[in-house]
Amino acid sequence: MSKIVQFVSQNCGKITPDSVEDYIENGGFEGLKKAFTLKPTEIIAEVKTAKLLGRGGAAYPAGAKWEQLLEIPEFPKYIVCNADEGEPGTFKDKLLLSQDPLRVIEGMTIAGYVFNSNDGYIYIRGEYAAVQKSFQKAIDHAVQQGYLGTHILGTDFSFRIHIKTGAGAYVCGENSALLNSIEGKAGRPRIKPPHLAEVGLFSKPTLVNNVESFAAIPIITQLGGEKYLSYGTSDSGGTKLICLSGHAAKRGVYEVPFGVTLRDIIYDPEIGGGIRDGKKLKFFHLGGQSGPCGIPEQLDTPYCYKKLRAAGLAVGSGAVVIMDESICVIDYLKSVTEFFIHESCGKCTPCREGNQQLYNILCKFADGHAVHEDFKIMKRLVDAMTNASFCGLGQSAAVALSTCLTYFKDEFEAHINKKCPAGYCFQERESGK
Amino acid sequence: MHHIANPNNKVTVTIDGIPVTVPEGTLIMDAAKKVGIIIPVLCYHPDLAVRATCRVCLIEIKGQKKLKTACSTEVWAGAEIITNSKVVRDTRKTVLELILASHPQDCLQCVRSGNCELQQLARTFGIDKPVFEPMDNKLPLQDENTSIVRDPNKCIKCGRCVAVCQEVQEVGAINTANRSNHYEISTAYSQKLDDTSCVFCGQCIAVCPVGALYEKDNTDKVWSALDDQELHVVVQVAPAVRVALGEEFGMPRGSIDTGKMVTALRRLGFDRIFDTSFAADVTIMEEGSELIERLQHQGVLPLITSCSPGWVNFVEKFYPEVLPNVSSCKSPQQIFGALAKTYYAQKTGISPDKIFVVSVMPCTAKKHESSREEMNSSGYQDVDVVLTTRELARMIKQIGIDFVALEPGEFDDPMGMSTGAAVIFGTSGGVMEAALRTVYELVTGEGLQQLDFEMVRGHAGIKEAEIDLAGTKIKVAIVNGLKNARILMEKIKAGQCDYTFIEIMGCPGGCIGGGGQPITTATGVKGERMAGLYQIDRGSDIRQSHKNPAVIRIYEEFLNKPLSHKSHKLLHTRYFPRKK
Amino acid sequence: MSGFTEFGDENMPTELTSSRILAIVDEKGKSKEQLLSILLAIQKESGENYVHEKWAQIVANELDLSLSKVYDVLTFYSMFSTGPRGKYIIEVCKSTPCYVSKSDVIAQIFENELGVKMGETTKDNLFTLLYTACVGACDIGPVAKIGEDVYGDLSHQKIAEIIKTYRGGFECQK
């Protein structure tokens, strides 16, 4: 029984990406056609039944989000696709955008129809310049063939999609920061409330969803929420595009139904294929830099939102980064913290100062100068960052560290005694930094 | 918009278990005040849009994991707010310690010691031994201009200065820049302030909670001059100073301290204590005449006042095409300086190169104004040094004067007598009212029955009035704050402006809210200072500039008449387009 | 903050004239929301991968923004530079998936091949060597991005090949 599925990713690698003919031949735009026969409330009902949780990482129930926006009596409304994909270890949106762009276009158009919105924006990160170009081609072809633009499929409904570029800032993956970036400003997050459904892009009511979320919409509309839900578990509907990287033997994007186990993901020959070079798994990092780390003892946890959360793990963006025994946990966490230092927008105290202070303490461990008091200071920093940061970046910057303090306390202790179990720190080596 | 709070609805919440009922839309921090709880804030400022970035004011909501900022969250019915739990106390302390870890610990040498919001919070929360590693930044001081010093090491990134420069003044000389721990407040491309759109209004200083922004300190120059036996040092004091100086000595806000101020200046050793208000009366003579001339000879209208250097810098940098509308009159400060080194020099026989003119201003832009190349019509730099109200207070303290206990003193002749019209120059609407009290009588030939022009007074950013000058109706406008100046400039550019005369002051509220005044976040202070000035006006013997005997005398003895050749040479100036 | 530009080209850096800047603004759309696209296009055409103060001022005037707001954008986003850089920007990813795939070794190889340290530009102004955060190519890490192209599964040999090809003026197979 195959552990992977070809559901949302069924066209990837199999069609000419920007070809409307290919897309239609493979069932494309059936969702849109069906949508035009349904009422917006009916479509939202299907999305709710599907139990589609936001695929960008925050896992907010899409049905609830759509329902909230429908109730806002102000126009115009905007549909925004978050294609910033800055989370390290995540590259599944790139796959969808480059190999099945019309699916994403169809999903956004259905959303446009539901909210009577005529303008959609897709914010593609600046580093995906090639993807921006190819996606524009797909938009142009869809317009030419009447599936986008004015009078779609001969109806009164018109919908345009504009591509907006990022310029290198992970924090722009945060939805309110993303909207600021589309507006031509620095991508620092906004105060909430008001929420984006009330005051969003250009201060108008706005829907923001991830690429993979929009990609699921045509299927949900066409086949119904029940069908989509059935691919997953009772709480996590459908499938997830996961991304394996690090020391996995077979790195890449795989579409799995919710409910497969972490062991399946990492070791199944169809998916991760084990650890490269026959090494042993030391730990894995789920969901992105802001996600928790896990250990081999947790491998039998089913990959779904509820069960992972119960185990102190998370789906997040779908990233699964694998580390073998050559990796020192302290050194790894330094890299994680360095990332957050670099990507912090800088405006709030706990994140701007906290990440740097954490990094300094991690360096103390790595250099053998740490003392027991440092555990207390780290805890204070973690608590302050989690409780006090302005946005999700700061609030979750210390999650990986927290989990590693739980599972690898002895490794921290060892470093206090100037010993590195992975054999990395405290040795003579060429500086690679 | 989906939800807008209706203040007519009432909401009941509990704060630390204490119930309190407040109007819908009340911020948690304000609701807390009603039950005697002061939630600490740092980046919050009552006159600026909320940023909620310092994270000091976080409080707990029962049943919710995430803490909320009290400065940005409105109450809702049934909210159970907790301000004193362990998580709140610990978070607050850690946030403060993180700020302090990046902040120099040299309070004793800092100009804001004793009036610093961060210092106050550290004292209140009993911050002791530093836990976090100090981030020792050694960034250079940015002080290569006449008026404003920026110390990036002390900046706590509260963003207030950016809010005032970008949103309140719409000057945009400074902004946030960079990301991460390089996040800073700076000019574009690290330009010196002189090369940016900065107008030196000093509102950034007025809102800074710490010592990251402060005025260029010129007290040393004044001490040197006072110590120099060869120099005859005269001082002029602006109207807005006398209703604010006392605040630096713990006196009630808006209290009128003219007499004590003069005595203090005498104790400091100034040879003559003069009043800028005298020069303001002269300004009215010149500018009133200028208005009448433009009215009668199809001159460029509207005529716009020119006594606010922040505004003059603004129009030079942003709207040079409107310069023909700006009055050619110098500001009272500069008029004074020119007269001190000519008229006063002649009258006393003191050589002008030995006369050292100090001015005390509520303003930082006045430092820049005094150093303008063209401000030397006396043949010397007309005004040698400008001190802010704050600097004067420091000097008074430095020689151990108990300001509160001083007996009142009097200004000196011949440039110390002024009118109620002159004194109200310090508040928005004051120049307009002073001008109208004189222009009306000059144009109509009739005496004014009612000297009070209430409709030009008050805090509003743009005020209008229609005045009947013996049959001719003219519309006037009064503007304070540069964002509002911009609105009028766009109207003038679009040809949609039907005002005849416009008063523009660069600072919100006028000079009483200037960048050199005592720094405070208390609400209502500007109104109290304004009230003080109108009280002086009401109590003045003479309330119209053209009736000031000292002014009449200076024209008889020296200037001949307003807009005379001599007046033009000494009391009028030119402007320069400085747009980028 | 509007108005016409009184720009002499005397002090302009030679790569871009003021009329070219104005044309780019028109091409991308003369509205504030187009700021990022405009600045990226200017940077690309500059030949030195940066945005000079004078070009930024023209853009600020055209879009009715303060220069400090444009500068905020230029310094906030990693892809921009306010000072000149090399013709080719080599960005070595050091985020964790690439880091555990030995990105530090890759960085060192680049340093040795180019004769510069991370953050520096070669003397012939051809290459600037930088670190970058994740570029979404973690399945082929360790990765380096040069301009718009991403090169993965890097080895010493591959790196030498890449540099040779860029020196010869062509982009090579990834």
pLDDT in tens, A98-117: 999 999 999 999 999 999 99
Evaluate if residue C8 carries a pLDDT over 80: no
Q: Could you tell me the CA-to-CA distances from B391 to A227, A395, B179, B210, B416 in Å, in that order?
A: 76, 44, 36, 17, 22
Q: Report pTM.
A: 0.95
Calculate mean pLDDT across residues A233-237. Answer: 90
B556 labelled catalytic: no
Residue C144 lies in a domain: yes
Calculate mean pLDDT across residues B38-50. Answer: 96
Residue C81 lies in a domain: no
Identify all chain C residues contacting A285, using CB atoms and an 8 Å cutoff.
96
Question: What contacts B384, CB < 8 A, 6 or more positions away?
Answer: B221, B225, B337, B356, B357, B358, B370
B58 Cα to chain A: minimum distance (Å): 7
Evaluate if residue B1 carries a pLDDT over 50: no
B446 labelled catalytic: no
Task: Say if residue C110 is in the same domain as residue C70.
Answer: no
Residues of chain B with pLDDT > 70: what percent?
Answer: 99
Residue C1 lies in a domain: no
Evaluate if residue A229 carries a pLDDT over 70: yes
Distance in angstroms (rounded) separating the CA atoms of residues A351 and A347:
8
The pLDDT, as a whole number, for residue B65 is 87
Identify all chain C residues contacting B189, using CB atoms and an 8 Å cutoff.
53, 56, 67, 71, 82
Distance in angstroms (rounded) separating the CA atoms of residues A408 and A332:
12
Distance in angstroms (rounded) separating the CA atoms of residues B515 and A241:
57
Evaluate if residue C1 carries a pLDDT over 90: no
B102-106, B254-258, C15-19, C56-60: range with lowest mean pLDDT: C15-19
Domain range holding C40? 18-76
The residue whose two tokens read 């304000």 is B30
Identify all chain C residues contacting A327, using CB atoms and an 8 Å cutoff.
100
Identify all chain B residues contacting A188, using CB atoms and an 8 Å cutoff.
176
Question: What contacts B80, CB < 8 A, 6 or more positions away?
Answer: B13, B14, B61, B62, B63
C1 Cα to chain A: minimum distance (Å): 16
The pLDDT, as a whole number, for residue A430 is 44
The pLDDT, as a whole number, for residue C14 is 60
Are the C-beta atoms of C65 and C34 separated by less than 8 Å?
Answer: no
The pLDDT, as a whole number, for residue A181 is 98
Q: Do C95 and A88 touch (CB under 8 A)?
A: yes
Distance in angstroms (rounded) separating the CA atoms of residues A287 and A392:
14
| Catalytic residue selected from B330, B366, B367, B526 | B366
Calculate mean pLDDT across residues B328-355. Answer: 98
User: Could you report how far apart the first and last alpha carbons of chain C are, in Å?
Assistant: 46
Residues 307-346 on B with a CB inside 8 Å of C are 318
The pLDDT, as a whole number, for residue A427 is 81
B165 labelled catalytic: no
Q: What pLDDT band is residue A193 in, cutting at 50, 70 and 90? A: confident
Looking at the domain that runs over A20-230, which CATH code has it been given?
A: 3.40.50.11540
Evaluate if residue B162 carries a pLDDT over 90: yes
Task: Say if residue C127 is in the same domain as residue C156.
Answer: yes
Task: Say if residue C65 is in the same domain as residue C93.
Answer: no
| Catalytic residue selected from B308, B327, B377, B428 | B327
Q: From the list C6, C71, C82, which residue is nearest B175 (CB)? A: C71
According to the CATH classification, is domain B10-84 in 3.10.20.740? yes
B287 labelled catalytic: yes
Evaluate if residue C75 carries a pLDDT over 50: yes
The pLDDT, as a whole number, for residue B5 is 83
- In the sheet with B80-82, reading across from the earlier edge strand, the strands are B18-23, B10-15, B80-82, B58-61, B68-69
Q: Do B177 and C71 touch (CB under 8 A)?
A: yes
A35-44, A333-342, A418-427: range with lowest mean pLDDT: A418-427
Distance of CA C105 to the CA centre of its chain: 23
Q: Could you tell me the CA-to-CA distances from B164 to A289, B55, B129, B159 in Å, in that order?
A: 36, 20, 35, 9
Identify all chain C residues contacting A188, using CB atoms and an 8 Å cutoff.
76
Are the C-beta atoms of B237 and B276 separated by less than 8 Å?
Answer: yes
Calculate mean pLDDT across residues A193-219. Answer: 97
Q: Do C138 and A332 touch (CB under 8 A)?
A: no
B569 labelled catalytic: no
Quick one: which of A110, A57, A67, A102 has its CA closest to A220? Answer: A110
Task: Say if residue C64 is in the same domain as residue C94.
Answer: no
Number of domains in chain C: 2
| Average pLDDT, rounded, for chain B | 96
Q: Do A332 and C100 touch (CB under 8 A)?
A: yes
Amino acid at B212: A
Locate the domains of chain A by residue range: 20-230, 239-324, 329-416
Locate the domains of chain B by residue range: 10-84, 101-215, 219-571
Are the C-beta atoms of A284 and A266 separated by less than 8 Å?
Answer: yes
Q: What pLDDT band is residue C11 in, cutting at 50, 70 and 90? A: low
What's the fold here for domain A239-324? Ubiquitin-like (UB roll) (3.10.20)
Task: Say if residue C56 is in the same domain as residue C97.
Answer: no
Amino acid at B510: G
What's the fold here for domain A329-416? de novo design (two linked rop proteins) (1.20.1440)
Amino acid at A193: P
Find out whether the peptide bond into B46 is cis, omega within 30 degrees of 0. no
Distance in angstroms (rounded) separating the CA atoms of residues B455 and B499:
15
Residue C162 lies in a domain: yes
Tens digits of per-residue pLDDT, B526-560? 999 999 999 999 999 999 999 999 999 999 999 99
Q: Are strands C144-146 and C149-151 parallel, antiparallel or unpaired?
A: antiparallel
User: If DSSP codes are grouped into helix, strand and coil, which group holds residue B316?
Assistant: helix
CATH number for position C148: 3.40.30.10
Residue C113 lies in a domain: yes
Q: Do B172 and C70 touch (CB under 8 A)?
A: no
What's the fold here for domain B219-571? Rossmann fold (3.40.50)
Chains in contact with B, counting 3 or more C-beta pairs less than 8 Å apart as contact: A, C
Task: Say if residue C134 is in the same domain as residue C159.
Answer: yes
Q: Do A91 and C80 touch (CB under 8 A)?
A: no
Q: Could you tell me the CA-to-CA distances from A40 to A116, B35, B382 in Å, in that order?
A: 9, 48, 74
Evaluate if residue C4 carries a pLDDT over 60: no
Selected residue of A245, A250, A331 to mutate for chain C interface (largest C Cβ count, 10 A): A245
Q: What pLDDT band is residue C3 in, cutting at 50, 70 and 90? A: very low
The pLDDT, as a whole number, for residue C12 is 59
Identify all chain B residues contacting A343, using CB atoms and an 8 Å cutoff.
179-180
| Catalytic residue selected from B247, B248, B316, B369 | B369
Tens digits of per-residue pLDDT, B118-139? 999 999 988 877 789 888 889 9
B327 labelled catalytic: yes
Evaluate if residue B375 carries a pLDDT over 60: yes
Nearest CA in chain A to C91: A127
Q: Do A347 and B53 touch (CB under 8 A)?
A: yes
Residue C24 lies in a domain: yes
Nearest CA in chain A to C92: A433
Q: Which helix (H) or strand (E) holds A119?
A: strand A119-124
Are the C-beta atoms of A263 and A300 separated by less than 8 Å?
Answer: yes
Question: What contacts B87, CB < 8 A, 6 or more positions away?
Answer: A383, A387, B60, B67
Residue C55 lies in a domain: yes
What's the fold here for domain B101-215? Alpha-Beta Plaits (3.30.70)
